[in-house]
Amino acid sequence: MSPRIPAHNGTSRSAEIMSRARLRFPGGVNSPVRAYRGVGGEPFVAVRGKGASVWDADGNEYLDYVLSWGPLVLGHAPDVVLHAVQDAMNDGTSFGMPTEREVDLADAIAARMPHLEMVRFTSSGTEATMSIARLARAVTGREHILKFEGCYHGHADAFLVRAGSGVATLGLPDSPGVPDALARLTLTCAFNDLEAVERIAREVPLAAIMLEPIVGNGGYIEPLPDFIPGLRRIADETGALLVFDEVMTGFRIAFGGAAERFNVTPDLTALGKVIGGGLPVAAYGGSREVMSHIAPTGPVYQAGTLSGNPLAMAAGLATLGGLTREVHDRITEQTAALVDGLRGIASRLGVPFIASHAGSMWGFFFHEGPVHTFADAQQSDVARFRAFFHAARRRGVSLAPSAFEAAFMSAAHGPREIGETLHRLDEAMSAAAAGRD
């Protein structure tokens, strides 16, 4: 029998803590998506995680598929990571000086992504992509960047842009505080629309064409077969740099990330999440030639007090060390089992539903399909997603609180966890379909 976890109303411990949090943080959170604005209701307050599970402040356990929005590919608090961080802690928490651990992590990344001859570590994905924008503009001497609707690259001004209308869709600020002059330098078009990319790239000299190789921030949207090879061709023909934002896809959609999965080598790559194993680590990198433009070897300035932090490096090293190709393949099999199981449930219930995965990253829409663009994704049944989300949470399954986010899997989610998850989500999808709790 699935658990029955009550909503976090005024009396729960979570609710008490959230009432304090709302006095200290905008919306009671330190990142907007955590506030449940996309699904309504009150978030639970996490107090502990271990393996496939996370517990809330009222002692309720959830099988977790948010996994800190991607970093926890070995599951919550894996012993190998805890021990590595504890060992590093005994020698200090930060130096602001070169350390061996940062070199070791860069070597480990390059061993799986040989196109990342050189990287620079940062403390967030936003810093990594922001630095890529500056570097691409410096290297090409151009100012315009092309991104895709539904792709999120962090909250740097250059990327908080909504498409205008028209072919060369001049960016409009997607947030107050982003200067029009800057927003106009970011062009957008629909993901998978290679013809639009061709038109824009031949009309406007682009510094970079930047994408999430598989979109995880517009819901889960895969590229059509010719899309990424087409971007590589267009970038080569027009002198733009091709940028893979792999903050989410890195070491998830394939053992060697998107370059391995799609057999296309980008000029610059952003990484994050998995390479920190839950501690604040991100990175950007590419060829030694391109990266040599970054200070102190070149004139493009970028810096960070806690970049390469030894505790974060230790967590990233332990995580990549635990993520062998065999472990990656096993997590991929579990992800396929969950996605196939969900498709079967929806089909039996006659619910319009599509689901897919690449490696340990997966997603679904309440939609007949296909979903090739963010505009397609926005046609999905968000009301049904909300009902499903809450029915799942009540039954002890933690999903991302938004219809437009990807989901994740970890090495700690074995056949038992997947079977229990499918049992609970079968009940949840049936309840949502019947308009029940």
By C-beta, is 171 or 213 nearer to ligand KE4? Answer: 213
Give Cα separations from 171 to 156, 159, 203, 428 (angstroms). 14, 9, 15, 40
Report whether 195 contacts 228 (CB < 8 A).
no
Angle between helices 100-112 and 310-322 (to 10 degrees): 30
273 is catalytic: yes
By C-beta, is 270 or 354 nearer to ligand KE4? Answer: 270
Angle between helices 415-433 and 325-349 (to 10 degrees): 30
Annotated catalytic residue: which of 245, 267, 376, 426? 245
Cis peptide before 370 (omega within 30 of 0): yes
In 3D, which of 219, 217, 245 has the Cα closest to residue 231?
245
Q: In the complex, what is the shortest distance from the CB of residue 140 to ligand KE4, in angstroms, rounded to a whole number?
A: 21
122 beta partners:
282
In 3D, which of 337, 339, 399, 331 has the Cα closest to residue 359?
331
Distance CA 67, CA 97 (A): 31
Cis peptide before 280 (omega within 30 of 0): no
Q: In the complex, what is the shortest distance from the CB of residue 294 to ligand KE4, in angstroms, rounded to a whole number?
A: 19
Annotated catalytic residue: which of 56, 220, 267, 273? 273
Give Cα separations from 131 to 79, 122, 163, 368 (angstroms). 33, 9, 22, 39
Give the position of tokens 């396929």.
Answer: 336
Q: In the complex, what is the shortest distance from the CB of residue 237 to ligand KE4, in angstroms, rounded to a whole number?
A: 26
Percent helix, strand and coil across the chain, each rounded to 5?
A: 40, 15, 40
Annotated catalytic residue: which of 152, 267, 284, 376? 152
By C-beta, is 217 or 410 nearer to ligand KE4? Answer: 217
245 is catalytic: yes
Residue with the shortest CB distance to ligand KE4: 125
Q: In the complex, what is the shortest distance from the CB of residue 125 to ligand KE4, in angstroms, rounded to a whole number?
A: 2
Pairing between β-strand 354-358 and β-strand 407-408 as defined by DSSP bridges? unpaired
How far, in whole angstroms, is CA 300 from its chain's centroid? 27
Distance CA 256, CA 108 (A): 11
By C-beta, is 153 or 384 nearer to ligand KE4? Answer: 153
By C-beta, is 211 or 337 nearer to ligand KE4? Answer: 211
Report whether 387 contacts 405 (CB < 8 A).
no
The tokens for 413 are: 């989610």
220 is catalytic: no
Distance CA 3, CA 211 (A): 40
Q: In the complex, what is the shortest distance from the CB of residue 198 to ligand KE4, in angstroms, rounded to a whole number?
A: 24
By C-beta, is 132 or 425 nearer to ligand KE4? Answer: 132
Residues forming the site for ligand KE4 (CB under 6 A): 31, 33, 69, 124-126, 129, 152-154, 212, 216-217, 245, 247-248, 272, 282, 405
By C-beta, is 158 or 345 nearer to ligand KE4? Answer: 158
Residues involved in catalysis: 152, 245, 273
